[in-house]
Amino acid sequence: SSMSGKTLGHYRILEKIGEGGMGAVFQAEDLTLRRPVALKFLPSEQATDPAAHQQLLKEARAASRLNHPNIATVYEVGEASGTPFIAMELVQGESLKQILQRGPLQRTQLFEVARQVAEGLNEAHQAGVLHRDVKPGNIMLDSKGRVKILDFGLAMFAGKERTQGEAAETFITRTATQWSTGGTVPYMSPEQLRGDPTDARSDIFSYGVMLYECLSGHRPFRGETSIDVLHAILRQPLPPLRNFVADVPQDWEQLIEQCLEKSPERRFRTMQEVLRALPRATATGARAEKSLAVLYFENLSGAKEDEYFRDGITEDVTTELSRINELTLFPRSAVLAFRDKPITAPQVGQQLGAAFILEGSLRRAGNRLRITAQLVETHTGHTVWADRFDREMKDVFEVQDEIARSISQALRIKLSPQEEKAIARKPTESAQAYDYYLRGRQYFHQFRRKGFDFARQMFARAIVIDPRYARAYAGVADCCSFLYMYWDSSEDNLNEAEAASSKALELDPELAEAHAASGLAFALKKNFDEAQKEFETAIRLDPKLYEAYYFYARTSFQRGDLTKAVDLYEKASRINPDDYQAVSLSVAIYHGLGRIEEAEATERRALELAEKHIELHPDDARALYLGAGILARIGKNQQSFEWARRALSIDPEETSILYNVACVYALLGRTEDALGCLEKVMAHGTFYKNWAEKDSDLDSLRSDPRFQALLKSE
């Protein structure tokens, strides 16, 4: 405190804002840049200790290599009048420790804290930095709820990043809660307490302790002394969260329990795995009060040919509701399993972990449309809101608008002006054009050549009826892009993709789907800079648009930027956690990057998602061949071969199937079969050649001159 008012170098010290075993922190002013900073000094008893000086420098080294919005930025390390210090970002707010002293976090706040801390730690681990002292006291929240991780004083560099002679654990300090191996006892992992070598899983254990405390208000391992706490961490079973939180959501419970496994081998292995688990926990936990699943409406007309319309209306109602930021919407894939099944709304809500279910029905007769809808609360089974709409087909968008507004009112959500505007926008003035657009969308999702051909025809008919239908133009562009990639690499397809996406943007510059379509067209022309701009614009306009991340990831892979590609695939997967495609395509990239642990974890998740999808859609060739690739990688060769043959039997001349089955055969060591498939594929243009050059699934073929000849063939 005696330092207050002093000037050190170009810093004027104002007041002390914190103190602990690792040093004292003061608020100061940078006199050169005129900005507030935090200065960290060693404790007075260590001020002349060379080892302590070295430790302070090590902290600065660890934190300064990290540039992430959830990690406090280090500006410099210096010394003035013989006093070493670190100058860092001043985070004005409260520590998580201070907040928890008032009680557990609200569920809405819990998810945001959990996510931001996980993302910050993931960034540190990716840079080879282990924090080793994750606890509420080292987590700050500013006035807007943004998280900053502080105090890398105990951090160490993983693996080769350690300096020569640096031990696996370093003696730091002993206080009431500090232990000789570093860290704060109630939050330390068993291996850290034993002095064993540690890796990212040790931080994950500490993170789990913190989450347990955030949710329950209690630390999981307690005792009168540090020795008692140490014994509890090493030997005693984890006290069930339900002892303190009777209604703890199952997903949160499972997440925390896996973080707190005493054996590192049974924990999440990376913070990326934790992040992937968090969205599932979100729906049933942090945002349970406002989570909603929209069931496919019942088709009362009974006509099979009307199912595309029923599906389209359901999906568009979901899209309208997804524009409301306070709502957590379950994706289309999550509710597919319940389509046309005799199951009640509360039962679906319980299985999904959704607080509310929207169900309904529709009947179409000529130009007349009847839609019924009701919002059911899962916990009580009570109907919160219900209505019936007897309208003409031309009023279909007003019905969707009214449903979205009624649900927001029922859940006491005040719509922002931006949300009001987004919900009120009509994609077209023509109900007939909309009908053709829905038909096209159904064909598009089949992911086959015939499906894309039919989809393009339907989108084109919609444009003839309404020449200003921007989404239909974007649909045409995507069809042409996919036809160019997989079946017909003609200039006509490429030019039409570019022209249609350009027209969509001209008609509606704020349409995210149009920017995503434009990005894909630019990428196929190898104009990667423009493609990147378009994808990033699409994501800015609609951060929940799966296709924007998915197309961007494919383009990044095509460009050879594997790290960016896998990051974008992961983001796509978070938006739609039940989709198997982005996860499956991530596996080969992780292997290509040499990130084996993440590859193996992703394999397990991809296979689970593919199996779930195939149960619902046994004739989906794409799910079969992507799943076959995963099975081959994990050694289930016979099942892999069977799935690949099933995929090929669906359409033996389909080039996308042939290419991916070739990848499976290559992984299985069936070189002749793989080359036989590739010979049929390479005649369809350059796209597959470019992809094959970077595809690690084909590595076993690279030394074969026949494979090299195929890549060079005209």
Residues designated as active site: 133
Count, residues in the chain: 714
Distance between CA atoms of 8 and 166, rounded to whole angstroms?
A: 32
CB of 534 closer than 8 Å to CB of 518: yes
Please report the sign of the dihedral spanned by the C-alpha atoms of residue 42, residue 46, residue 50, residue 51. Answer: negative
Give the tokens for residue 261.
């496994």
Distance between CA atoms of 477 and 521, rounded to whole angstroms?
A: 8
CB of 297 closer than 8 Å to CB of 274: no
Distance between CA atoms of 660 and 642, rounded to whole angstroms?
A: 14
Closest to 582 measured CA to CA, from 565, 564, 599:
565
Residue 476 burial (10 A CB sphere; 0-12, 13-18, 19+): buried
Beta strand pairing status for 298-299 and 93-95?
Answer: unpaired
DSSP 65-119: T---TTBPPEEEEEEETTEEEEEEE---EEEHHHHHTT-SPPHHHHHHHHHHHHH
Give the tokens for residue 481.
């892009």
Give the tokens for residue 127.
């840079």
Residue 561 burial (10 A CB sphere; 0-12, 13-18, 19+): middle
For residue 106, what are the contacts with CB-CB under 8 A and spacing of at least 6?
none
Distance between CA atoms of 10 and 534, rounded to whole angstroms?
A: 44
Distance between CA atoms of 30 and 259, rounded to whole angstroms?
A: 40
Give the tokens for residue 136.
């509420």
For residue 387, what are the contacts with CB-CB under 8 A and spacing of at least 6?
372, 373, 374, 402, 403, 406
392, β-bridge pairs: 368
Please report the sign of the dihedral spanned by the C-alpha atoms of residue 120, residue 123, residue 124, residue 125. Answer: positive
Q: What amino acid is encoded at 315 in this protein? A: E
Q: At what angle do helices 396-410 and 417-424 cross, to 10 degrees?
A: 150
Residue with tokens 């423009």: 530
